[in-house]
Structure 1
Amino acid sequence: MFKAQTITHKGQSRIAVYFENKPELTSRFKQLPGAKWSATLKVWHLPATAAYLKQFKIITEAVNIHQKKEPIPIKPELAQFIDWLKSRRYSNSTVKTYTEALRIFLSFFGEKKTEEITNTDLIYFNNQYILKNKLSASYQNQMVNAIKLFFSIVQQKQLDVSKIHRPKRAKTLPNVLSKEEVKAILTAHNNMKHQTMLSLVYACGLRRSELLNLMPIHIDSNRGLLLIKQAKGKKDRVAPISEKIVNLLRAYYKAYQPKKWLFEGQLAGQKYSEKSLENVLKQALKKAKINKPVSLHWLRHSYATHLLESGTDLRFIQELLGHSSSRTTEIYTHVSTKSLQNIKSPFDDL
């Protein structure tokens, strides 16, 4: 029912536990002390305590590693791969994701030398690890990307990764809120900081990390612009900010006087945490009595869709969102009601 193995996640020794995606199993696992879900690895994990290691029948060497608090050794070729990623200035999150993916992949084959790994091994790994453990399609793609880069750059061995059966990408539409729903969410909080954070996400179509990385110097109130530094893909961009949002930001700044980051935690100079921001949204949804599973990214999707419905050119929306390809932005045409409302159903003529 359960399959477990030790991993290193965010610098800590953890136990990844794989099981069928059933509500009763998930509910049982969540009750275990220290149980957490990794959105990056798409797996539930536990602290690598001696009790858990024994419970899940993991080899005793892992117990010693945990007790001594020694880092799990990294294979030389994996260390080389990490150095290469850093030298190319890949983001920290990408380095962590690719490193953990390669660590799992290489550990799967035990003592087998990396230069001896073949395309047949890749297919076997895909079937016996990813598919067998019912890991997500996005995780499978991340794993494929890491393997391809590792063998083509570090090992200088071009594997035919097409033989790893990539899952077909699901053609999902972005989730969009009505303007009435957005207003209810943004006005739900009486706390000025919470209201300002959520308002800025929607007003400028920001990603979560983009909001939390803002500094007061990034606001150009005279020109009505917000500078978004080193966003996804390490790209800078600007977004227009109206007088209404400028006034809100001025009132917030006067009340809170942030030292370094525009939005700080309880300690001065400390960046506001992602988890706290998610809780701010959850509280707003509860107060607004909105039962949809809204995430912060829904506000970004709603921003883009509402711009399109108000007549903003798709090319401008692409620039405002920081999309590299226009095809990414075009998805909003499928959820915009502007054109759909003009279509008359043949049912009405019956």
Structure 2
Amino acid sequence: MSSIPSQSEPPTAPKLLDQVRGRIRFKHYSIRTEQAYVDWIKRFIRHFGKQHPKDLGADEVQAFLTHLAVVGRVAASTQNQAKSALLFLYKEVLGVELPWLDKVESAKTPKRLPVVLTRDEVMAMLSRLEGSSGLIARLLYGTGLRIMECLRLRVKDVNFERGEILVRDGKGAKDRVTMLPASVVPALRVHFDRVRELHRQDLAGGHGEVHLPYALDRKYPSAGREWMWQYVFPAAGLSVDPRSGVVRRHHVQDQSVQRAIRQAVRDAGINKPATPHTLRHSFATHLLESGYDIRTVQELLGHSDVSTTMIYTHVLNRGGRGVASPLDKLAVN
């Protein structure tokens, strides 16, 4: 039988990765960020023979990032994500404030124009989508929402009377308001009726509680079962919350939407690498084509800086920045 520790013995310190998870949750980072950061920290530790990170420093961080680029041949964005995870580990978890942390250079992310569909291509793609995936795709194109902003919508965030959608805690922890397309309202109302019936069935089966952000479940214990807090696009089945272990109905997974859109793009014969985010790019570009002010588009997209929105003005330029080729000016006999 194991002995019971005396009161004078200090409690066992949490393991490093548990400390990382705890700090991430304290700062209200998403579950995806948590999973990505923990994975990168594991890889960093394994790369140096399972040495504790406190015994490593600038040279090892730089060597690891270089290894990812040269041997792993990862994209610049992936390398920068790894760097962010390691900086979080040293600054937020280990409490290391050393000059070398800020001197670790980020990989240069190539500046590429976004993929944009024409209006005809959007129509062809949307016509090949049905059910929840079709409704989600229409909202992505009709509102400019990011995929996770759409999937995390709650019932209370959709205002049919005002024709608005309130985006809570978007990128950069910002709220914003965008339009609710009138053409999608009838289908969305029917969808709400189905979701409400599903919620009633969950409640009758002893479930019906949804995850609440920022520990609101402790402040309002019954709020998670209320209709207004339910996800607009709930998953088909119940699942175990990876953080709390509670059995709940989460929202639809973005992978299923991505697969449906990729298949619709193929079926429509569109020769572009279109994704759900392409619909957001198309939303912005088509608004600018229609003559809307770039500041209005910036606000609808939730960009902090108008320079981010300016990339869509480059997409609008036809050919070589809208310049007519001298070849087209020649008289053809």
Length-normalised TM-score, structure 1: 0.70
Following superposition, the deviation at residue 241 of structure 1 comes to 1.7
Corresponding position of 1:264: 234
Corresponding position of 2:113: 173
1:310 to 2:250 alignment: no
Aligned letter for 1:248?
A
Query: Over the residues paired in the alignment, what is the CA RMSD in angstroms?
Result: 2.8
Q: How many residues align?
A: 276
> Does structure 2 retain, via aligned residues, the 8 Å contact 1:216–1:262?
yes
Following superposition, the deviation at residue 270 of structure 1 comes to 4.7
Corresponding position of 2:306: 326
> Does structure 2 retain, via aligned residues, the 8 Å contact 1:225–1:239?
yes
> Does structure 2 retain, via aligned residues, the 8 Å contact 1:204–1:239?
yes
Aligned letter for 2:261?
L
> Does structure 1 retain, via aligned residues, the 8 Å contact 2:151–2:252?
yes
1:290 to 2:270 alignment: yes
1:49-198 to structure 2, matched below 5 A, reads: 76-110=15-49, 112-153=51-92, 154-161=94-101, 164=104, 166-189=106-129, 191-198=130-137
Measured in 1, the distance between the counterparts of 2:327 and 2:274 equals 33
Aligned letter for 2:236?
Q
Deviations 1:194-242 (A, max 9, x none): 3322111110112111221123322111111011222222222111123
Measured in 2, the distance between the counterparts of 1:331 and 1:246 equals 31
Q: 1:114 and 1:249, CA in 2 relative to 1: closer, same or farther beyond 3 A?
A: closer
Measured in 1, the distance between the counterparts of 2:318 and 2:74 equals 38
Q: 1:164 and 1:75, CA in 2 relative to 1: closer, same or farther beyond 3 A?
A: farther
> Does structure 2 retain, via aligned residues, the 8 Å contact 1:230–1:236?
yes
Measured in 2, the distance between the counterparts of 1:329 and 1:152 equals 32
Corresponding position of 1:37: none
Measured in 2, the distance between the counterparts of 1:255 and 1:147 equals 44
> Does structure 2 retain, via aligned residues, the 8 Å contact 1:126–1:165?
no
1:252 to 2:205 alignment: no
Corresponding position of 1:204: 143
Note the residue ranges of structure 1 that are not aligned, 5 or more in a row.
Answer: 1-73
> Does structure 2 retain, via aligned residues, the 8 Å contact 1:309–1:338?
no
Aligned residue for 1:299, secondary structure, equals helix
Measured in 1, the distance between the counterparts of 2:274 and 2:50 equals 45
Measured in 2, the distance between the counterparts of 1:126 and 1:209 equals 28
Corresponding position of 2:218: none
